[in-house]
Structure 1
């Protein structure tokens, strides 16, 4: 790899990182299937007990 190509490659890499830092990602963070199931199971019993209390 010649010197000019190497320098250009380094500068492009730095520019890409700087650009990524300026423009934040709008995509939501990935939540695994197991974590989603765990969160859903934690929320479900509380919702059921609230409806039972309201109906009584």
Structure 2
């Protein structure tokens, strides 16, 4: 019985590793707080430029 249990546990570990490698990109990439602030500032400046161009066109 111990031999069967050992073989089954080895096979289960292999399957877990293969599944983990297959689904490696499940989590979104981490974006630091400073990077989020920079992106937000860029978005706001882009929005301000768009508003300026619409005001000039009208």
- Work out whether the TM-score is over 0.5: yes
- Post-superposition, which runs of at least 4 consecutive aligned residues in structure 1 deviate over 2 A? 14-17, 23-27
Structure 2, unaligned runs of 5 or more: 1-5
Tell me the C-alpha RMSD between the 2 structures: 2.4
Find the counterpart in structure 2 of residue 17 from structure 1. 17
Where do 5+ consecutive residues of structure 1 fail to align?
Answer: none
Structure-2-length-normalised TM-score: 0.56
Query: Structure 1: how far apart are the matches of 2:15 and 2:42?
Result: 44
Aligned length in residues: 48
Q: Deviations over 1:1-37 (max 9, x none)?
A: xxxx7xx67x72x443321112243332111111100
Q: Which has the larger radius of gyration?
A: 2
